[in-house]
Structure 1
Amino acid sequence: MTPALRPVIRQAFTFCATLTLFAAFQATAADARPRHPPGTVIASAQALATDAGFEAIRNGGNAFDAAVATSAVLAVVEPISSGIGGGGFFLLHDAKTGRDVFVDARETAPESATPEAYLDKQGELDVDRAENGPWSAGIPGLPAALVHIASKYGRLPLRTTLAPAIKLAREGFEVYPRLERGYGSRREVMERYAGTRAVFLADGTPPKAGEILKQPDLAHTLELLAEKGRDGFYKGEVAEKLLKGVADEGGKWTAAELASYQVREREPLRFKYRGWDVITAPPPSSGGVALAQMLQILEGWDLAKLDEAHRVHVTVEAMRRAFRDRTIYLGDPDFVTVPMARLMDRNYAAGLRASIHPEKATPSALISGKPAPLEDDETTHFAIIDADGNRVSTTQTVNLLYGSGMIPPGTGVLLNDEMDDFALRPGTPNAFGVMGFEANAPKAGKRMLSSMTPTFIENADKSIAIGAPGGSRIITEVLLGILGYDAGLTPQEVAALPRFHHQWMPDVISAEKGALSPEAVKALEAMGHTVNAAEPTWGNLQTVQWDRRTNTLSGGSDPRNPVGKAEVQPSDAKGK
Structure 2
Amino acid sequence: MKRIRGVVAATAILILIGSAHAAGKATQAGIASAHVLATQAGFEVIGKGGNAFDAAVAVASTLSVVEPQSSGLGGGGLFLLHRASDGKQVMVDARETAPAAVDRKDYVDAQGNADRDHSINGPLSAAIPGEVAGLVWIAQHYGKLPLKTSLAPAIRIAREGFKPDARFLKELAMRKEVIERYPGSAALYLVNGRAPKAGWTFRSPDLARVLERVAAEGKDGFYRGEVARTLVDGVRKAGGNWSLDDLSGYTVKEREPITFDYRGWHIVSAAPPSSGGIALAEMFNILGGYDLARLDRVHRVHLMVEAMRRAFRDRAEYLGDPDFVQMPITRLLSIDYAAGLRASIHPDKATPSDLLPPFLVDEQGSHTSHFSIIDAEGNLVAGTQTVNLIFGSGLVVPGTGFVLNDEMDDFALVPGKPNAFGLPGNEHNAPRPGSRPLSSMSPSFVIGADRIGVIGTPGGSRIITMVLEGIFGFIEGQSPAQIVANPRFHHQYLPDVISAEKGAFTREEVKELEAMGHKLSESERPWGFMNVVSRDRKTGVTQAASDPRGDSGSGIVK
Q: TM class, shorter-chain normalised?
A: over 0.9
Alpha-carbon displacement from aligned partner over 1:255-307 (angstroms, at most 9, x marks no partner)? 01111101100000110011111111010000000000011111112222211
Q: Deviations over 1:71-130 (max 9, x none)?
A: 000011001100000000000000001110100000000012222221111111110000
The one of 145, 150, 153 equivalent to 2:142 is: 153
Structure 2 residue 406 is the aligned partner of structure 1 residue 449: no
Match of 2:388, SS? coil
Q: Who is 2:178 aligned against?
A: 189
**Of residues 112, 119, 133 in structure 2, which corresponds to 1:123?**
112
Write out per-residue CA displacement over residues 387-443 of structure 1, whole angstroms, 9 at most, x where no aligned residue: 110000000000000000000111112100000000000111111110100000000
Q: Which residue does the alignment assign to 2:29?
A: 40
How big is the shift at 1:214? 0.7
Supply the AA of the counterpart residue of 2:486: L
Which residue does the alignment assign to 1:268? 257
Report SS of the residue matched to 1:117.
helix
2:477 counterpart of 1:488: yes
CA contact (8 A) 2:364 2:440 kept: no
> How many angstroms does 1:536 deviate by?
2.0
Map 1:380-399 to 2 at 5 A: 380-399=369-388
2:6 aligned partner = none
TM-score w.r.t. structure 2 length? 0.94
Give the Cα–Cα distance (whole angstroms) in 2 for the partners of residues 470 and 304 of structure 1. 27
Matched residue SS, 2:187: helix
Q: Which residue of 1 aligns with 2:338?
A: 349
* Alignment of 1:296 onto 2:285: yes
Given that 1:366 and 1:505 are in contact with CA atoms closer than 8 Å, whether structure 2 keeps it comes out as no
Q: How do residues 426-465 of structure 1 correspond to structure 2 at under 5 angstroms?
A: 426-465=415-454
Amino acid at match of 1:130: S
| Partner residue, 2:161 | 172
Query: 2:543 matched to 1:554?
Result: yes
1:408 pairs, out of 373, 397, 403, with 397
- Consecutive unaligned residues of structure 2, counting only runs of 5 or more, are 1-15, 357-362
Name the residue aligned to 2:5. Answer: none
Deviation at 1:202, TM superposition (A): 5.1
Conserved? CA contact 1:36–1:388, under 8 Å: no
Q: CA deviation at 1:33?
A: 5.9
Deviations for 1:181-229, whole angstroms, at most 9, x for unmatched residues? 1111111111100110110125553222221001111111111111111
2:501 corresponds to 1:512: yes
Other structure's SS at 1:160 match: helix
- Cross-structure match for 2:302: 313
Please tell me whether residue 113 in structure 1 is matched to residue 125 in structure 2.
Answer: no
Which has the higher mean CA deviation after the structures are superposed, 97-106 or 196-205? 196-205
Q: Is the 8 A contact 1:366 1:507 kept in 2?
A: no
1:322 counterpart residue number: 311
Aligned length: 535
Mapped to 2, the partners of 1:513 and 1:307 lie a distance apart of 20
Q: Alpha-carbon deviations, 1:489-544, whole Å to 9, x = none?
A: 11111111110000000000000011011111101100111011344211011010
Mapped contact 2:139–2:147 kept (Cα < 8 A): yes
Residue 554 of structure 1: how far off its partner (Å):
0.4
Contact 1:375/1:538 (8 A) holds in 2: no
Conservation of the 8 A alpha-carbon contact between 1:498 and 1:512: yes
Q: SS state of the match for residue 435, structure 2?
A: coil
Q: What SS does the aligned partner of 2:29 have?
A: strand
Percent of paired sites with the same residue: 57
Gaps of 5+ in 1: 1-26, 368-372, 570-576
| 2:196 aligns with one of 189, 207, 223 | 207
Conserved in 1, the CA contact under 8 Å of 2:453 and 2:474?
no
Q: 1:65 to 1:32 in 2, by over 3 A?
A: closer
Contact 2:180 2:193 in 1 (8 A): no
Q: Distance in 2 between matches of 1:194 and 1:178?
A: 23
SS in structure 1 at match of 2:436: coil
Task: Choose 1 or 2 for highest CA Rg.
Answer: 1
| Cα drift, residue 562 of structure 1 | 2.8
Aligned partner of 1:102 in structure 2 is 91
Deviation for aligned residue 1:248: 0.7
Secondary structure of the structure 2 residue equivalent to 1:212: coil
- What is the DSSP-based 3-state SS (H/G/I as helix, E as strand, rest coil) of the residue aligned with 2:354? coil
Matches within 5 A, 1:6-85: 34=23, 36-85=25-74
1:38 Cα deviation after fit: 2.1
Q: Is the 8 A contact 1:38 1:553 kept in 2?
A: no
